[in-house]
Amino acid sequence: MAQQIQDLVASIRKDGIEVAQKEAAQIIADAKAQAEDLIREAKKEAASLLEKAQREIDTRDQSARSSLQQASRDVQLSLKKAITTQLDRLLVEQVEKAYASNDLVSLIASVVASLGDAKQHEVQLSRKDFDALAKSLAGQLSDAIKAGLEIKPVASVSTGFRIAAKDGASFYDFSAEETAALLKPFLSAAIEKIVFSSAK
């Protein structure tokens, strides 16, 4: 009987150990599965975070490049504007110098001769040019003056001259500014090609 009890105890012990081993194996298997799931999720999350970080880096890089390109364009346009302003000023100065010479009298005489009907027009000059050129103009334009052409100083002309209809209906502006503006398109293409070709 003692043997039977021992066998029964051994059997119970063996069954308990097997059950415990099975449960332990199941717990270990479940823990491994959970660990693998956690590792897989962590890897997926890490990959997602890495991809998001790379996208943000790419976006910032593109934004920085765009900002740099815009700043470069702004500098080029600002420089172009500054150079154009300077060239415009120089062009006006050169026209003013040309008008300050005796060639102005010849130019006025040529324009008056092309009018045909001088008696309906007047030559308008700055006070300074009128005082300096009145005698020369009177000599070169004597026939037109006899026909009715008037030569007079006006405050609205600083350099150059204007040929105006006496009735005020129209005028031809040969001021330094207007002449420079007329010349500018012809000069601009060549200057722009030389100076601004890289800014486009």
Domains and CATH numbers, the chain: 92-199 (3.30.2320.30)
| pTM of the model as a whole | 0.54
CB 174 within 8 A of CB 98: no
Per-residue pLDDT, 7: 67
Per-residue pLDDT, 197: 57
Per-residue pLDDT, 106: 85
Q: How remote is the C-alpha of 193 from its chain's centroid?
A: 17
On the 0-12 / 13-18 / 19+ scale of CB atoms within 10 A, 89 is exposed
Per-residue pLDDT, 101: 66
Distance, CA of 195 to CA of 189 (rounded, Å): 10
| Residues in the chain where the model's pLDDT stays below 70 | 1-2, 7-10, 12-13, 15, 101, 188-200
Per-residue pLDDT, 193: 67
Per-residue pLDDT, 184: 78
Cross-strand bridge partners of residue 124? 152, 162
- 172 backbone dihedrals φ, ψ, rounded to 5°: -110, 120
Query: Coil, strand or helix: which one is 170?
Result: coil
Distance, CA of 142 to CA of 63 (rounded, Å): 72
